[in-house]
Amino acid sequence: MTSPTGKLVRDRIPEIIRASGTEPITYQADPAEFRRRLRDKLPEEVDEFLTADDETAVEELADILEVVYALAADLGTTKDHLETTRAAKAAARGAFTNRVIWTGGS
């Protein structure tokens, strides 16, 4: 099935558009389309972060987290469980705090 054009936006965007005097045209995605559009949204937000300057980078990272949290909820998990999973993986394999670069080796 082909999806209509448009893009996934934050929940309050229609309200903000209405407040500016325009009536937005929207619909609610079904679960399959929502998951697909969230997955499409993640690289969009990552690209915005990668091109951001230092002044807007934190805001762009927050947008990435918002999409990640929505994906987690869509997969049936919570922010807390996601954080527990992240912490366990960091404990087992480390994080990225030591700036280690692997160049190969046997």
pLDDT digits (tens, 9 = 90+) for 39-61: 999 999 999 999 999 999 999 99
Q: Are 42 and 24 in contact (CB under 8 A)?
A: no
Q: What is the C-alpha separation between 51 and 49, in angstroms, rounded?
A: 5
Q: What is the C-alpha separation between 9 and 50, in angstroms, rounded?
A: 20
Nearest to 23 by CA among 11, 14, 31, 32: 14
Task: Choose between 106 and 37: higher pLDDT.
Answer: 37
Please state the domain extents for the chain: 29-92
Amino acid at 47: D
Cα 49 → chain centroid:
11
Give the DSSP letter of residue 29: P
**What's the pTM value of the predicted model, to 2 decimals?**
0.87
